[in-house]
Structure 1
């Protein structure tokens, strides 16, 4: 359901392949996370693929916790999404484009709670309204890394 998704897009002056390589490397998620919650990858940080499982050390305010996620959508250089036990998804869609004749990519990050176990709890916690700010920051960090 579209009403249970929020998205933010940004054009980044980098190829879809370069951007996807960062997104598919869980060891880089803390580096690009605009929420400040992702601390570091747990495990070996193997490149993600459909069905891959990966863990993260997280922190919400002063409270540390661990989370395990599974890649639930995957199209090389175009789409990657993962979900954890709550079943809501973080999705990145990449579309090649150009800016002033330079190869670039339109990157859309989506927080999708249409698949969540408890969508009402997500809404009551205010995540749909809070997450776009963090998502904009994430895309800004991704752009800073790739456009440097």
Structure 2
């Protein structure tokens, strides 16, 4: 039986705290993504707690509306080691409905200025009814590697914290 999970791992030449800070900033997610589906964060507050919701404007040519919005719910937040969220949608003022797929980043410090970063995409909780509409995974494993490369570029360009 195939496992409903993809992952990729890269080593970054920056501290885990810097990688985590970029991941906790919804405004950075558009540059990390690489599919062209993410357009702009609606909620720009940093991700700081499990249960926090943040919305993103999206576009996909095969989506019935073309332009749409997702709502994400933070399900893992262990700074600077792990961060992850469920993706779903909301109709009007209704409570969000989550599709069952999770994006998760695990960070392992390899020293003061090096971090191993694993990006996982888990769709094992997606119900059959949703799988009849959306093909999973909606991208290949190379997408995860590309996203990690974009994240590495962003973290290398991120300003370093300095103390006095």
Q: What TM-score, normalized to structure 2?
A: 0.78
Gaps of 5+ in 1: none
Deviations 1:51-109 (A, max 9, x none): 110000011137211000100111111111100210210000000115xxx72111100
Moved more, 2-11 or 85-94: 2-11
Regions of 4+ moved over 4 Å: none
Task: Summarize the alignment of residues 1-148 of structure 1 with structure 2, pairs less than 5 Å apart.
Answer: 3-43=3-43, 45-48=44-47, 49-61=49-61, 63-84=66-87, 85-98=98-111, 103-118=113-128, 121=131, 125-127=135-137, 130-148=139-157
Q: Contact 1:88 / 1:117 at 8 angstroms: preserved in 2?
A: no
Alpha-carbon separation, structure 1, partners of 2:125 and 2:150: 27
Higher helix share: 1
How much is the aligned-residue C-alpha RMSD, in angstroms? 2.4
**Aligned pairs, number:** 143
Q: Shift in Å at residue 115 of structure 1?
A: 2.4
Alpha-carbon separation, structure 2, partners of 1:103 and 1:41: 29
Alpha-carbon separation, structure 2, partners of 1:75 and 1:121: 30
| Residue 67 to residue 124, structure 1, CA distance change in 2 (3 Å) | closer
| Residue 124 to residue 51, structure 1, CA distance change in 2 (3 Å) | closer
Question: 3-state SS of the aligned residue for 1:86?
Answer: strand
* Structure index of larger Rg: 2
Gaps of 5+ in 2: 88-97, 158-164
